[in-house]
A and B are shown apart, each in its own frame.
Chain A
Amino acid sequence: MRKVYIAADNIISPLGFTTGENAASLKAGEKGIHEISDPELSPVPFHASVIDTTRLDERFSEEGDPEEFTRFEKMAVLSLRDACSRTDADLRGARTLFILSTTKGNIDLLASSPSDERLYLWQTAGMLGSYFGFGYKPLVISDACISGVQAIITGARMIRAGLYDNVVINGTDIISEFVVSGFSAFKSLSQGPCMPFDKRRDGLSLGEGSGTIILTADPSLAADPKIIAGEGFSTNDANHISGPSRTGEGLWLAISSLLSRTGGKISYISAHGTATPYNDEMESIAITRAGLQDVPVNSFKGYWGHTLGAAGIIESVMGIHSVRNGILFRTEGFSEPGTTNPLNIIARTENKQIMNCLKIASGFGGCNAVQLFSRE
């Protein structure tokens, strides 16, 4: 079976425009979440991680005319450009697949131009694909909050099956009135910055961003130290379309499938950790049922907020960075344990050699996904 390597990656967020910039910000304890008072987005102030528009346009003007691209496109293009510049892989041939992971794409256009073609996610992916000249026609994956992890799972499977040699995966979502009002109606938004796994957690903070991972079958193109995208699985809770399972059924099933097929020891878990009371509780149950309650676990949501379709990519990129550089980042927003099943939450950023990272995610529709990244 062919191995799948990580060739290059990127993160675009308020904390930086490269993976390195974001890692440095996390290390310095900075977070992207702030109070936002913008009547265009919400009638009442809310906490979210939003990229400064002036800064985004400034950076984008090196690439093209900011007026000609949507907010979504600018973030995705910058992320793809940076990641592509970090690999020698030939991404233009038919052996390369481009996958876009997003929940809502250019959803901000729905209010202003409801018949805009760019509202179709395959059009958005097609525009990005032809902009960069990626060979084969792009694929869009839209599985709510697990979209990013699903895109990596699918991309890695395509390479293992021999269908492609390289897969470029971008995950992007923007903050919009559409999404803010919806999560607000769901009473899911936190009062202050979100507090994953904490006793006082009261909801999630939204975020926007873009992340890119380039997968390759060619070991000579793998970035050093070489990281392998191993097995990944998705499952469904078959319980409720918006509420997490009380028994952690689907997530537990996905983790235990992975453990039984890979057999190895897990050294670190990057959790979904949205900081809603039910999600974090569910994850603690599933992780404990799988026997991984002593493994160091963190959530990145306190830094970037919940970036929806980008979350699985951005958080995987930082998980990979953690394995590569031997660092475990603290869970921003966490101070006091607050789940029924105690977990080994990383409360202090520390240097530690780790062999692998298990990325987990769960979302609306009762879906769950898990993906393993390991040192070769």
Chain B
Amino acid sequence: MEQLEQKLKEEIITALNLSEMKPDNIDVNAPLFVDGLGLDSIDALELTVLLEKKYGLRIQTSEEGKKVLYSVKSMAEFIRSNNKG
């Protein structure tokens, strides 16, 4: 379980060029946007590309996007729930 979260943290750091950030600095439950990591709208778009590219998962609506991209944990849960079958 934890492995996916750890992997996601590394992928997020690479995809978003968060060079001054280490995986351990990212709290899996903390919000990624505004208060937490301070990511912006371009980062959100880039994270949807990451989910498509690495996990073959497409976010359908902006509402769904807000939920899925809330935290590392919510992203991991989205991936797990779509890979069950």
Whether the pair B40, A187 counts as a contact (CB closer than 8 A) is no
> Which residues of A sit under 8 angstroms from B62, Cβ to Cβ?
187
Whether the pair A185, B49 counts as a contact (CB closer than 8 A) is yes
Nearest neighbor of A188 in chain B, beta-carbon distance: B45
Whether the pair B45, A240 counts as a contact (CB closer than 8 A) is no
The distance from the CB of B50 to the nearest CB of chain A, in whole angstroms, is 12
Partner-B contacts on A (CB < 8 A): 185-187, 240-243
Nearest neighbor of B44 in chain A, beta-carbon distance: A187
The distance from the CB of B81 to the nearest CB of chain A, in whole angstroms, is 23
Tell yes or no: B25 within 8 A of A by CB.
no
A242 to B62, CA, bound (A): 18
> Which residues of B sit under 8 angstroms from A187, Cβ to Cβ?
45, 62
A187 to B59, CA, bound (A): 12
> Which residues of A sit under 8 angstroms from B40, Cβ to Cβ?
240, 243
Top 7 A-B residue pairs of the complex, sorted by shortest distance between their CB atoms: A243-B41, A242-B42, A186-B45, A187-B45, A185-B45, A240-B40, A242-B41
B23-59 vs A, CB cutoff 8 Å, 1 = contact: the mask equals: 0000000000000000011100100010000000000
A242 to B44, CA, bound (A): 13
A240 to B40, CA, bound (A): 9
The distance from the CB of A239 to the nearest CB of chain B, in whole angstroms, is 11
> Which residues of B sit under 8 angstroms from A240, Cβ to Cβ?
40-41
A187 to B49, CA, bound (A): 11
B43-85 vs A, CB cutoff 8 Å, 1 = contact: the mask equals: 0010001000000000000100000000000000000000000
Q: What are 7 contact pairs spanning A and B, CB under 8 A?
A: A185-B45, A187-B45, A240-B40, A240-B41, A241-B42, A242-B41, A243-B41
The distance from the CB of B22 to the nearest CB of chain A, in whole angstroms, is 26
> Which residues of A sit under 8 angstroms from B49, Cβ to Cβ?
185
> Which residues of A sit under 8 angstroms from B41, Cβ to Cβ?
240, 242-243
The distance from the CB of A108 to the nearest CB of chain B, in whole angstroms, is 23
Q: Output the residue of A187, A240, A241, A243 with the most chain B CB within 10 A.
A: A187
The distance from the CB of B27 to the nearest CB of chain A, in whole angstroms, is 25
A242 to B45, CA, bound (A): 12
A241 to B42, CA, bound (A): 9
A186 to B41, CA, bound (A): 9
A186 to B40, CA, bound (A): 13
Nearest neighbor of A242 in chain B, beta-carbon distance: B42
A187 to B65, CA, bound (A): 12
> Which residues of B sit under 8 angstroms from A243, Cβ to Cβ?
40-41
Nearest neighbor of B65 in chain A, beta-carbon distance: A187
The distance from the CB of A27 to the nearest CB of chain B, in whole angstroms, is 38
The distance from the CB of B68 to the nearest CB of chain A, in whole angstroms, is 15
A186 to B43, CA, bound (A): 11
> Which residues of A sit under 8 angstroms from B45, Cβ to Cβ?
185-187
A185 to B48, CA, bound (A): 10
Apart from A186-B45, A240-B41: 10 A-B pairs, beta carbons within 8 A = A185-B45, A185-B49, A187-B45, A187-B62, A240-B40, A241-B42, A242-B41, A242-B42, A243-B40, A243-B41
The distance from the CB of B51 to the nearest CB of chain A, in whole angstroms, is 14
The distance from the CB of B42 to the nearest CB of chain A, in whole angstroms, is 6
The distance from the CB of A121 to the nearest CB of chain B, in whole angstroms, is 25
A256 to B42, CA, bound (A): 30
> Which residues of A sit under 8 angstroms from B42, Cβ to Cβ?
241-242
Nearest neighbor of A243 in chain B, beta-carbon distance: B41
Nearest neighbor of B48 in chain A, beta-carbon distance: A187
A242 to B40, CA, bound (A): 10
The distance from the CB of A321 to the nearest CB of chain B, in whole angstroms, is 37
The distance from the CB of A241 to the nearest CB of chain B, in whole angstroms, is 8
The distance from the CB of A325 to the nearest CB of chain B, in whole angstroms, is 41
Nearest neighbor of A240 in chain B, beta-carbon distance: B40
A145 to B8, CA, bound (A): 36
A242 to B41, CA, bound (A): 9
A186 to B62, CA, bound (A): 12
A243 to B42, CA, bound (A): 9
The distance from the CB of A168 to the nearest CB of chain B, in whole angstroms, is 37
> Which residues of B sit under 8 angstroms from A185, Cβ to Cβ?
45, 49
